[in-house]
Structure 1
Amino acid sequence: MTRPITLPFYAKLAFILITLICFAFIFCTGKNIITPVLLAFLFAVLLLPIFSFFNKKLKFPRHLAAIVCLLIFLSFIVGILVFISYQVTYIANDFDTIKKNANSFILEIHKFIRENFEVSIGDQKKYLDSVTQDSVKNGQAKLGSFIISMSDVLLDSTIIIIYTFLFLIYKEHFKLFLAKLIRQENHAVLKDILSQIKVSINNYIVSLIIEMIVVSVLTSIGLWIIGIKYFILLGLITGILNLIPYIGILVAGIITVLASLTGSAEFSIILGILIVNIIVQFIDNNLLVPLIINSKVEINAFVSIMGIIVGGAAAGISGMFLAIPLLAILKIIFDRIDPLAPWGYLMGNHVPRKFTWRKQKIATEN
């Protein structure tokens, strides 16, 4: 019987770091291939309860049950997009009013700069004209890149739908593959890991949907109170964009400010929009995220922020969205493998009240 190889701590740490670097390199190199697969995996896990209902309860064939799940999911997404596009047409009808109020607002800004910074309106316009000319020169290149990026989004969306379908119908096949990789005595641990991953991802995505709904409702109520015309649409857009960490709320604020110009160009309205966004973000960050999101994934704020930053640097918005569920999966795996348990504890949000070092007697040789 062979004895297990025991390595010193620095060797284990070196192997772990090398493994992480290899995984990071593979992900950054093949992010265009790996990102749609990971997104499809998340959607497949989310749709598993519906798939099981049609497949096991209603006795639908696996392929038909997967198709019905995807149709329900796509109908929900398309319904939101149709509602948004239907509301956007009303805003487009007020384009002349928006243009007029925008010019009035810009004029007020010019006056403010002239009075407080002693820069004449003519100098300000010359500077804006120079910036505008530079942007016009690059306009065709930007338009071309926008068209290419939109085509990439459509292609990725199609691939994600196909991958989600395949994950659903080959669910048992992938489980058997993992069981063949792991020794039979460790199958109980593997089963526990898979079940916990399923629960964690489902809870995370459902929590995101709840957070989106609450943020949408709170923003809509706030915009309605201050008298914004399209408060329902703008609240929904804010809730959806809030799913994108950091960047989403800024984009939603800009869209809301532009849409507010359909009514008036008063600075008090824009100030009210900023106050509403700040209050909603305060409630979201201090109540919704700790109670709804963090309590489900059990990842501390430090690791979450680092993961989002690294994910954004590696794969953009998709990486930022995938960061938290991937960290949750890693924590589940680390917690159930004894050599990696300290890393799982490091990622968790359980902070001890007080830590005391254990005193041990050191034996000395005479």
Structure 2
Amino acid sequence: MNRTLFDKYFPEIVVISTIIIFVISLFIMKSVIFPFFAAMASAYITFPIFEFFLKLFKKRQIAAVLTVVLILVAILGLILVIFPVLLKQIESFIDYLPVLVSKIDFYLAKYLGKKIFSGRFNPGNMKSVFSLIYRNFDINNSITVAALVQKIFSGVFSIASIAINIVVIPFLSYYILVDWENLRDLYLKLLPFEHRAETAVLIDKVNDSLSGYIRGQLLMAFLVAVYFSITLTAIGIRYSFLIAVVAGIMNMIPYVGFFTAFVPSILLAIFDNGDLFHIVAVGIVFLSEAALENVIYPMVMSRTTGINPLLIFFAVFFGATYGNFLGIIVAVPVVAMILPVFDSFMMKKEMKT
């Protein structure tokens, strides 16, 4: 018996509608939805750790508590260790940038007979611009972590909501980890009985795609940041930690992370260190990174459905244009969720009814 189109594509319609409603709600009610989004993201990312503790202790509550404690320790480490070092390097880089531009212009004038930056990007003016930006953001040596976070996320929530979220998000993460299976079953019970099994299969595919992509990208970002931080520091490239962190973050966009690190590194090797050893060393570091990533990336990302690089570029730019900072965060994960639904839809379309 032929099914109607609605019945045929019911799981795809329900899942894609849920994704759309969640994304719209996230942007419309940022302050309300964000704690749940952050808690779900934390629980989602750390679910393998939760499963490890669950096998070890056999109790979901104990496993969830230990997982949340690890999340809090990681956040505290980020705030107390990573942020201060990063801020110092940013401040130092802003002070040094006019000097670097002057050196580049000097060598261009020497070998090409022409200055590119002179009259357009005056080093003194550049420093003034960066200083003005810093003053506008009230970033100084006495800045507190709370103030910095508030400045960065001012479009998402206030200082008061940040304080509340710090308390609420760990509790929400705990309950999501403990009741994840119950929440999934409750969602399926809202659907007609005849569609539950097929929808459950599609949800699992979406879950595999999203989890594989997010965890894989986070692991790759961490590995890239650690690699560049160690190697660039070892060969004596200035601002190696800042370059490594930015490269790790930008690594979610194909090729961008590599060039984000390579361009400043090679410029510093040429115009700051100024010798053949550092230029060759930077070349070796980045050739090695490219070779290692070609080996490691398929191993780490083997669980993903494979997102086309052009689609990632489009998603990131679309998210940045229409969703600002929050849009950049959710753009590619949303694509990772939609792809299995699209694949399922196309498979059914090609099947004979």
Q: Do they fold alike, i.e. is TM over 0.5?
A: yes
Whether the 8 Å contact between 1:307 and 1:323 is mirrored in structure 2 is yes
CA RMSD of aligned residues (A): 5.2
Task: Report the counterpart of residue 199 of structure 2 in structure 1.
Answer: 190
Deviation at 1:285, TM superposition (A): 7.1
Task: Report the counterpart of residue 341 of structure 1 in structure 2.
Answer: 346
The 5-angstrom pairing of residues 101-180 of structure 1 reads 105-115=100-110, 116=112, 124=119, 127-130=122-125, 140-143=135-138, 148-150=150-152, 152=154, 155=162, 158=166, 160-180=169-189
Counterparts of 2:65 and 2:251 in 1: how far apart (Å)? 27
Counterparts of 2:19 and 2:60 in 1: how far apart (Å)? 40
Task: Report the counterpart of residue 212 of structure 2 in structure 1.
Answer: 203
Counterparts of 1:86 and 1:142 in 2: how far apart (Å)? 17
Task: Report the counterpart of residue 332 of structure 2 in structure 1.
Answer: 324
> How many pairs were matched up?
326
The higher-RCO structure (CA 8 Å, 6+ apart) is: 2
Question: Which of 244, 253, 274 is the equivalent residue of 1:266?
Answer: 274
Whether the 8 Å contact between 1:193 and 1:332 is mirrored in structure 2 is yes
Question: Which of 286, 307, 310 is the equivalent residue of 2:318?
Answer: 310
Task: Report the counterpart of residue 240 of structure 1 in structure 2.
Answer: 248
Letter aligned with residue 311 of structure 2:
V
Task: Report the counterpart of residue 73 of structure 1 in structure 2.
Answer: 71
Q: What do the CA deviations read for 1:168-189 (whole angstroms, capped 9, x no partner)?
A: 2442442233122212122222
Q: 200-209 or 47-56, which moves further after superposition?
A: 47-56
Deviation at 1:201, TM superposition (A): 3.5
Q: 83-92 or 274-283, which moves further after superposition?
A: 83-92
Give % identity. 17
Deviation at 1:69, TM superposition (A): 1.1
Deviation at 1:72, TM superposition (A): 1.4
TM-score, length-normalised on structure 1?
A: 0.62
Q: What do the CA deviations read for 1:320-344 (whole angstroms, capped 9, x no partner)?
A: 34333322222333444xxx23599
Give the secondary-structure state (helix, strand or coil) at the position aligned to 1:171.
helix
Counterparts of 1:344 and 1:85 in 2: how far apart (Å)? 50
Deviation at 1:161, TM superposition (A): 3.7
Whether the 8 Å contact between 1:39 and 1:322 is mirrored in structure 2 is no
Whether the 8 Å contact between 1:312 and 1:320 is mirrored in structure 2 is yes
Letter aligned with residue 143 of structure 1:
D
Structure 2 gap segments, 5+ residues each: 7-15, 140-146
Deviation at 1:296, TM superposition (A): 1.9
Letter aligned with residue 204 of structure 1:
Y
Whether the 8 Å contact between 2:42 and 2:71 is mirrored in structure 1 is no
Deviation at 1:34, TM superposition (A): 4.8
TM-score, length-normalised on structure 2?
A: 0.64
**Residues 291 and 176 (structure 1 numbering): CA distance in 2 closer, same or farther, change over 3 Å?**
closer
Counterparts of 2:94 and 2:180 in 1: how far apart (Å)? 53
Counterparts of 1:111 and 1:45 in 2: how far apart (Å)? 51
Give the secondary-structure state (helix, strand or coil) at the position aligned to 1:297.
coil
Structure 1 gap segments, 5+ residues each: 8-16, 346-366
**Residues 47 and 279 (structure 1 numbering): CA distance in 2 closer, same or farther, change over 3 Å?**
same
